[in-house]
Amino acid sequence: MPDVFDFVLTENPLSTAPVDVFEADRRARDTGFATPVDAAVAGGFGSDRLGYAFLAGYQAALRALLPDIPNVRTALCGTEAGGGHPAAIHTTLTPGRDGFTLDGTKSFVTLGSAAELLVVLAGDERAPSGRKALRAALVPAGLPGVSFTAQPVLPFTPEIPHATLRLTAVPLPAHAVLPGDGYLRYLKPFRTIEDLHIQAAVLGWLIGVARRSSWPAPWLEQALSLLAGVRESTRADPSAPSTHLAVAGLQTGQQRLLGDAEHFWDRTEPDTRERWRRDRPLLDVAGTVRTARTAAAWRRLTTDHSPENRTPAEPDRVRPTGETAR
């Protein structure tokens, strides 16, 4: 089993474009790395552009969230017209005699019709009155009642397709519905898991660019140090506020690393440099959400760990921040 640091420092970086938008993800799956985050790094390293690195990180994040799903192109489908919070999700999962029926519309699905498997968040109509409960269901994209409408190509990373998803009386067997609360167990933690795995893939891609273009060794050392922090953070509870703060720090570190690299892009081949300038805005998507998440993490830590909330018998020990503490 290869070591990912040795891999990105000794293997030959990609120098030609993949023939397929999902080639980076296929390579990541074939590298033999044991963890999704290392597969993300390898997938990014094997990409010739930021969009393909993103796809490798996105797929690795889904395998980290759902390690038992089939090894096929997968998309998480949560966002609707009003957003991705439980109150905004109106897709319904209705129980029937032989399983469930799924109905609703998802406004923004990464991969669109190129996805083979969908992880759909839907309201559970069996929940007690007055309580909004979500479930997650695995939906093969070829099932009857599943249809996509392609969305316009974005001005950056145009290789990544997006679509609106329509679900009309989609039949599902009972085992297709995943256990646990769909929001707390899947949608909410995925935001952090996705950030980390995409950052790992982006760093893998940047290290490949740096090696191919002979960027200075101190920059590479900083990139490897940041990558070590990303890999370690994937081991933490993705719902814990302390993890959210660590991710915020890693994002700040990445911004500094990118700033330090500004002087080196002139050493890079023109096609790679121009695609980077085009695709750079991808890394700022969801910045507002990350800022709000970081502020909420600080508020939660301040509240949970204030002196009046400490356990009287243990005045110097803070409470745990896992699921049971909430």
3-state SS of the chain is CCCHHHHHHHCCCCCCCCCCCCHHHHHHHHCCCCCHHHHHHHHHHCCCCHHHHHHHHHHHHHHHHCCCCCCCCEEEECCECCECCHHHCCCEEEECCCCEEEEEEEEEEECHHHCCEEEEEEEECCCCCCCCCEEEEEEECCCCCEEEEECCCCCCCCCCCEEEEEEEEEEECHHHECCCCHHHHHHHHHHHHHHHHHHHHHHHHHHHHHHHCCCCHHHHHHHHHHHHHHHHHCCCCCCCHHHHHHHHHHHHHHHHHHHHHHHHHHHCCHHHHHHHHHHHHHHHCCHHHHHHHHHHHHHHHHHHCCHHHCCCCCCCCCCCCCHHHC
Integer CA distances (angstroms), 98 to 1, 101, 113, 314, in order: 44, 10, 27, 52
Give burial (CB, 10 Å; 0-12/13-18/19+) of 29.
middle
pLDDT band at 125 (very low <50, low <70, confident <90, very high): low
pLDDT band at 12 (very low <50, low <70, confident <90, very high): confident
Dump pLDDT digits (tens) for 297-321: 999 988 866 555 544 443 333 333 3
pLDDT band at 96 (very low <50, low <70, confident <90, very high): confident
189 pLDDT higher than 50: yes
pLDDT of residue 264: 97
Contact (CB, 8 A) for 51 and 37: no
Average confidence score pLDDT of the chain: 87
Mean pLDDT on 19-46: 73
Lowest mean pLDDT among 65-74, 123-132, 133-142: 123-132
For 74-177, CATH gives 2.40.110.10
* CA torsion, ordered 30, 51, 64, 238, to nearest 10 deg: 150
Lowest mean pLDDT among 41-45, 204-208, 223-227, 239-243: 41-45
Q: Where are the domains of the chain?
A: 4-63+185-301, 74-177
Percentage of the residues of the chain whose pLDDT score is greater than 70 = 85
- Distance separating alpha carbons of residues 111 and 105, to the nearest angstrom: 16
Structure token pair of residue 156: 């950056």
pLDDT of residue 60: 93
Q: Note the Cα 124 to chain centre separation in Å.
A: 25
pTM of the predicted protein model: 0.88
pLDDT band at 129 (very low <50, low <70, confident <90, very high): low
Most confident of 18-22, 84-88, 157-161, 195-199: 195-199
